Structure 1
Amino acid sequence: MTTTTLNPRVDVRRAAERFATRISWLDSKHSFSFGGHYDPDNTHHGLLLVNNDDVVHPGTGFETHPHRDMEIVTWVLQGSLVHQDSEGHNGVIYPGLAQRMSAGTGILHSEKNDSWRLTGGDTHDKPVHFVQMWVVPDEPGITPGYEQLEIENELLAGGLVPVASGMDKHAGEAAIRIKNRYAALYAARLQPGQSVELPEAPFLHLFVPRGTVTLEGAGTLETGDAVRFTATGGQKVTATEPAEILVWEMHATIAA
């Protein structure tokens, strides 16, 4: 990781510009190079390497697979997702629940649509929609770990809510801790007319997983749109319809 002299820039990326993976059980949009989709000029922004916008069909999901040396944050927008891993962690992730997995020295995990579960005798068969984001850790080879915490009440109170952070300023405040002291993720649920002000940082990434907002100085952002900020911040984001936004604040980038 490194910091350097930067020129201010606001780079709007439209939903339709993203890489896409569509198979029988998965509809996935990738903001950065991922899997078989590779563009050497689109590998990361700041410390963020993956911003995958996934819809998984009922009764399906990602079978057990490995990860290593990555901080993985999953944010569910609709439905619920079952997590199981080789360290013995099990959890159901649903809207309003912050979840982080530290892959560290190596971990195996699966993520599946929870719709097969029975509640009151009814079978639920809805897709699960979630965003999965990866940032690099401060150092390789850490012990794998898992954490989740309910933050629904904080989201209902409004404003940018710290979801996951390794930054000192969020000690005792962020919902979950990640192993990178230069990065923090925020979420906000906005009703029409409500606004939040973005933090200022060398690198910001704003993603609109649902709804429509206006970004001060840049105009309308719709579902799936993203903005990469360099050496700037402080702009207002205002909802024009019910919306949810995810914002990464990053004070370093990956060394070239």
Structure 2
Amino acid sequence: MKIVLHKAATRGHADHGWLNSWHTFSFAGYHDPERIHFGALRVLNDDTVAPGAGFGKHPHNNMEIVSIPLEGDLEHGDSIGNTAVIKQGDVQAMSAGTGVVHSEKNKNGDKQVKFLQIWVFPNERNVQPQYDQKTFSNAEKQNKLLTVVSPLGTNDGGVQIHQDAWFSLGKLDKGTIVNYRLKKEGNGVYAFLLEGDASINDVVLNRRDGLGISEEGTLNIVANTDAELLLMEVPMT
């Protein structure tokens, strides 16, 4: 088993006033040659956007982009005709493929929005851009791991992306033990602890810590307090 532990305070940080962003991996002005990516997982940004502010129209290509709101309402618009508001409980995926222009804005003028911005390298380049969005209840994630992202063409649930990757969300009561068995040989898992304290394969994690595990087929997860976590299973090559 190989592990890489990223404590919350060691992440890159950028405070632009309207945007307060923590970068698990190198991004924009933050560069660490030891933290470029974890397998196909390229970006994990923990973003807070001020009331009424947001990202103007900007382009992407050949990247799978997953957004997971944690608080507030995020308004999305893109060049392939999609307009939507995503909020806590929603998961959004956009395959940029041959190219797409989009914008993301805090819909509300009186409260901030918090969301995870996640980029995954695709397993196929220059695909037709596509958009997917689904809503998941807290009950579906209670004391278990719910698949919220899965590979295109599977029936594993969740929004679909062009990669052999599976994301799972869990809300665990203190003392709960769950196991996660990897779905594809050669994949690894990057765990991001959203809230609380937990142990994964005996490694202790606190709020906003990240843990990458590869060359291991099963994860044993123990909630040391009430905890919320995101697991991202991705190819390592």
TM-score normalised to structure 1 length: 0.86
Structure 1 counterpart of 2:219, from 235, 239, 256: 235
CA distance in 1, matches of 2:24, 2:122: 20
CA distance in 2, matches of 1:10, 1:137: 23
CA contact (8 A) 1:83 1:91 kept: yes
Output one character per residue of 1:179-200: Cα deviation in whole Å (capped at 9) or x when no partner.
11x2111111112222321333
- Amino acid of the residue matched to residue 172 of structure 1? N
CA distance in 2, matches of 1:92, 1:158: 28
Shift of 1:115: 1.7
Is 1:82 paired with 2:72? Answer: no
CA distance in 2, matches of 1:196, 1:75: 22
Shift of 1:167: 6.8
CA distance in 2, matches of 1:196, 1:94: 27
- The residue number in structure 2 matching 1:139 is 124
Shift of 1:240: 2.9
- The residue number in structure 1 matching 2:157 is 174
Structure 2 counterpart of 1:214, from 192, 199, 207: 199
- The residue number in structure 1 matching 2:175 is 193
Q: How does 1:95-134 map to 2 (within 5 A)?
A: 95-116=88-109, 125-134=110-119
Structure 1 counterpart of 2:54, from 57, 61, 77: 61
CA distance in 2, matches of 1:10, 1:115: 40
CA distance in 1, matches of 2:144, 2:195: 17
- The residue number in structure 1 matching 2:144 is 159
CA distance in 1, matches of 2:150, 2:39: 15
Shift of 1:237: 1.8
Is 1:13 paired with 2:21? Answer: no
**Structure 1 runs, 4 residues or longer, greater than 4 Å off:** none
CA distance in 2, matches of 1:56, 1:195: 34
Shift of 1:27: 0.9
CA contact (8 A) 2:143 2:173 kept: no
- The residue number in structure 2 matching 1:119 is none
CA distance in 1, matches of 2:206, 2:217: 20
* Change in 2 beyond 3 A, CA 1:33/1:193: same
CA contact (8 A) 2:78 2:100 kept: yes
- The residue number in structure 1 matching 2:232 is 248
* Helix, strand or coil at the partner of 1:115: coil
Gaps of 5+ in 1: 1-7, 117-124
Shift of 1:155: 2.8
CA contact (8 A) 2:38 2:236 kept: no
* Change in 2 beyond 3 A, CA 1:153/1:24: closer
* Helix, strand or coil at the partner of 1:46: coil
Gaps of 5+ in 2: none
* Helix, strand or coil at the partner of 1:84: strand
TM-score normalised to structure 2 length: 0.92
- Amino acid of the residue matched to residue 199 of structure 1? R
* Change in 2 beyond 3 A, CA 1:194/1:32: same
- Amino acid of the residue matched to residue 32 of structure 1? F
- Percent same amino acid at aligned positions? 37
Is 1:224 paired with 2:217? Answer: no
